[in-house]
Amino acid sequence: MRSSASLALVLILAACGQDTMASGDDALDPPPDVCEKSYLDYSNFGKPFALDWCRGCHSSAVPANMRQKAPVGVDFDTLADVQHWRERIAIRATGAMPTMPPAGGPSEEERVLLAEWIGCGAAK
């Protein structure tokens, strides 16, 4: 079971769930204790999550005509890519009504972990 702080972060992200970059800054400011206690990093969470749920469309190796409408250049191939797009990822893939991936995807528990990792800076 996830901590109440992680759940609070998901609720914050849901409240900011409009698809605009302006609301992303607020969504990416979790309580400090969440990040202090988090064990999530790129190698144990971010990279496997992106491989499982994102890179089928959001990879520079996927041809434009096979990206399922994912914009060319919005790729999650590296940690730096994910960090660059983290506001957008938080808005589109976490919260009460996520739109990514469009055909369903990760469990609610995995989305809570994504919100925690992204909100804590998408650390190495």
The tens digit of pLDDT for each residue in 102-122 reads 988 999 999 999 999 999 999
From residue 30, alpha-carbon distances to 23, 41, 56, 59, 101 in Å are: 14, 16, 29, 28, 23
- Please give the pLDDT value at position 27: 54
pLDDT of 25: 44
Tens digit of each residue's pLDDT (9 = 90 or more) over 56-115: 999 999 999 999 999 999 999 999 999 999 999 999 999 778 999 998 899 999 999 999
Residue 124 lies in a domain: no
pLDDT tens digits for range 21-59:
233 444 577 888 899 999 999 999 999 999 999 999 999
Identify whether 46 is part of a domain. yes
Q: Whole domain around residue 115: which residue ranges? A: 4-119
- Would you state the structure tokens that stand for residue 78, as one six-digit string? 């590296």
Name the pTM for this structure: 0.75
Residue 86 lies in a domain: yes
Q: Looking at residue 32, what is its pLDDT? A: 82
Is position 65 within any domain? Answer: yes
Give the DSSP per-residue string, 48-69: HHHHHHTTTTSSTTS-GGGSTT
Task: Give the list of residues 6+ apart from residue 99 with CB closer than 8 angstroms, or none.
Answer: 19, 92, 93
In a domain, 112, yes or no: yes
Residue 14, in any domain of the structure: yes
Question: Is 110 inside a domain boundary?
Answer: yes
Question: Phi and psi for 67 in degrees, rounded to 5?
Answer: -90, 5
How many domains does the chain contain in total?
Answer: 1
Residue 54 lies in a domain: yes
